[in-house]
């Protein structure tokens, strides 16, 4: 038997359900907030008012680092797993269960509590604010999600125990679906707590399975990541459900269509119009877009100024969204001008024919030009000035004709592999709740 770690917002039932589970399983319960109070010999409001939140968080880290590895139930404080080190420690040899409930139910359960406000907002607004901040990490970490809104604590405890902390799978449907996947499937896949995959058409070139399957054991994640080719975005979702999979990376040509298959696309995905990350939690599907993060992260220091995006497809939309988040003035130049104009209208920026007269501090190539042997540069050489940064989103090959010309002209260059590495870090964190760090991703992919 392993450890059960209960996570969720305050009022989601962690302590009550944890107590029932510990009684039924005859194993110890560790309630991290109660342990902090016991060790400090002070209540949490006293710690907050006397020493502040940072001291409380350090006490929380100390308590979590000291918890036993063997069978037990751990009921965590709402903010505990937002600390990456706590998340890593709690992940080890554990089933992680996310308990959820509607904001108004949470409010009714915590009303009258003496716990300090973390934000100064009204109680209901604080719940909504913390949910927005914390739920993506909670969902990523969870092996199983249980809505406690309409069930009693003993029912929730019985359900978690009967499922052994894992999502239930139908063996026939599972076998039928794995038979359609041509790549190698481990014999014991059905008992693997967490299944992920990359879907698209084609997917066989993807390096994501190598990345995830290398990082899972290092991070203590009991997961397996597969190639999951599909006919369409809908077909990919059917496969996700049949396998009881937790999440998907989505590549071309499904990113745009995937948005309509998702129950809750986040605001970035909606604005870009594409989903490249899908997460299943209590049968609801959550959708994110990490492509724009992959573009934003390597150029974060370039806030303000003028930017030119060459291309008007999916990668260009993510690029425009990233640049606008950095307060840049964006011009779009696309081969098919009408498509460039339509993208510019969507984002309230400018479109123009590609010419050397455009002023740009940063130029992003969001076309596939540079991938094929014999391709030239998609950017006129007159635009390559020494004070310009050139970011080529093409990542195979890493050094393209555009980057070579730009380097020779004295420009600062950023390779498409940087976008891939940064988007992969954001995606890994969303899918698993664990941040492996940019350098480790770079190493694994190098």
Distance of closest approach, residue 218 Cβ to ligand NAP, in angstroms? 23
Distance of closest approach, residue 223 Cβ to ligand NAP, in angstroms? 22
Please say which residue, 329 or 375, places its beta carbon nearer to ligand NAP. 375
Please say which residue, 117 or 356, places its beta carbon nearer to ligand NAP. 356
Structure tokens that stand for 414 in this block: 């950023």
Q: What residue number has its CB nearest to ligand NAP?
A: 313
Structure tokens that stand for 45 in this block: 């409001």
- Residue whose C-alpha is closest to residue 277's, from 251, 303, 301: 251
* Ranges assigned E (strand) in 200-254: 223-227, 247-250
Distance of closest approach, residue 370 Cβ to ligand NAP, in angstroms? 7
Residues that bind ligand NAP (CB under 6 A): 252, 291, 294, 311-316, 334-336, 339, 366-369, 371, 378, 393-395, 416, 419-420, 423
**What is the crossing angle of helices 416-432 and 208-219, to 10°?**
50
Distance of closest approach, residue 47 Cβ to ligand NAP, in angstroms? 44
Q: What residues are paired with 223 via a beta bridge?
A: 194
Q: Which residue has the tokens 């907002």?
A: 121
- Residue whose C-alpha is closest to residue 95's, from 30, 142, 32, 48: 142
CB 203 within 8 A of CB 182: no
Q: What residues are paired with 160 via a beta bridge?
A: none
CB under 8 Å to 122, separation ≥6 — which residues? Answer: none
Q: Is there a catalytic annotation at residue 255?
A: yes
Please say which residue, 164 or 251, places its beta carbon nearer to ligand NAP. 251
Catalytic residue among 14, 246, 255, 415: 255
Please say which residue, 37 or 375, places its beta carbon nearer to ligand NAP. 375
CA–CA separation, 373 and 273 (whole Å): 31
Please say which residue, 105 or 198, places its beta carbon nearer to ligand NAP. 198
Please say which residue, 98 or 393, places its beta carbon nearer to ligand NAP. 393
The conformation of residue 28, written as its DSSP 8-state character, comes to -
Please say which residue, 76 or 365, places its beta carbon nearer to ligand NAP. 365
CB under 8 Å to 168, separation ≥6 — which residues? Answer: 244
Distance of closest approach, residue 307 Cβ to ligand NAP, in angstroms? 16
Torsion of CA 216, 218, 222, 228, to 10 degrees: 10
Distance of closest approach, residue 265 Cβ to ligand NAP, in angstroms? 18
Q: Which helix (H) or strand (E) holds 95?
A: strand 94-100
CA–CA separation, 421 and 174 (whole Å): 32
Distance of closest approach, residue 94 Cβ to ligand NAP, in angstroms? 32
CB 297 within 8 A of CB 317: no
Q: What secondary structure does DSSP assign to 138-199, as a single string? A: HHHH-SEEEE-TTS-HHHHHHHHHHTTTS----HHHHHHHHTT--S---TTGGG-SEEEEEE
Which residues are marked as active site?
255
């Amino acid at each position: 038997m392993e450890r059960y770690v209960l996570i969720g917002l305050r009022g989601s039932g962690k302590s009550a359900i944890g107590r029932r589970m510990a009684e039924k399983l005859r194993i110890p319960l560790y309630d991290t907030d109660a342990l902090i109070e016991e060790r400090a010999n002070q209540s949490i409001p006293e710690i907050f008012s006397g020493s502040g939140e940072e001291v409380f968080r350090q006490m929380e880290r100390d308590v979590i680092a000291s918890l036993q590895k063997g069978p037990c139930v751990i009921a965590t404080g709402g903010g505990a797993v937002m600390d990456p080190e706590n998340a890593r420690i709690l992940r080890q040899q554990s089933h992680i269960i996310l308990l959820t409930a509607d904001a108004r139910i949470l409010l009714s359960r915590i009303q009258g509590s003496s716990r300090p406000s973390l934000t100064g907002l009204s109680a209901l607004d604080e719940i909504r604010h913390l949910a927005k901040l914390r739920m993506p990490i909670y969902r990523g970490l969870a092996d199983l999600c249980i809505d406690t809104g309409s069930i009693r604590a003993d029912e929730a405890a019985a359900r978690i125990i009967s499922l052994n902390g894992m999502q239930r799978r139908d063996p026939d449907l599972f076998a039928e679906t794995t038979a359609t996947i041509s790549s190698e499937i481990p014999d014991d896949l059905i008992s693997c707590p967490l299944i992920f995959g990359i879907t698209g058409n084609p997917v066989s070139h993807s390096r994501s399975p190598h990345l995830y399957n290398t990082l899972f054991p290092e991070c203590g994640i009991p997961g397996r990541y597969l190639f999951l080719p599909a006919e369409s975005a809908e077909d990919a979702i059917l496969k996700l459900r049949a396998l009881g999979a937790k999440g998907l990376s989505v590549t071309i040509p499904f990113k745009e269509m995937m948005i309509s298959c998702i129950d809750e696309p986040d605001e970035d995905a909606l604005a870009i119009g594409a989903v490249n990350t899908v997460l299943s939690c209590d049968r609801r599907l959550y959708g994110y877009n990490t492509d724009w993060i992959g573009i934003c992260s390597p150029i974060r220091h370039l806030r303000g100024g003028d930017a030119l995006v060459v291309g008007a497809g999916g990668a260009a939309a993510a690029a425009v969204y990233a640049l606008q988040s950095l307060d840049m003035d964006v011009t779009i130049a696309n081969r098919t001008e009408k498509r460039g104009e339509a993208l510019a209208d969507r984002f309230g920026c400018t479109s123009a024919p590609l010419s050397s007269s455009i002023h740009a501090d940063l130029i992003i190539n969001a076309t596939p030009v540079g991938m094929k042997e014999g391709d030239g540069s998609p950017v006129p050489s007159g635009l390559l000035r020494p004070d310009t940064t050139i970011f080529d989103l093409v990542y195979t090959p890493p050094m393209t004709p555009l980057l070579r010309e730009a380097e020779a002209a004295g420009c600062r260059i950023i390779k498409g592999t940087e976008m891939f590495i940064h988007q992969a870090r954001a995606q890994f964190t969303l899918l698993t709740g664990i941040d492996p760090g940019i350098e480790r991703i770079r190493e694994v992919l190098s």
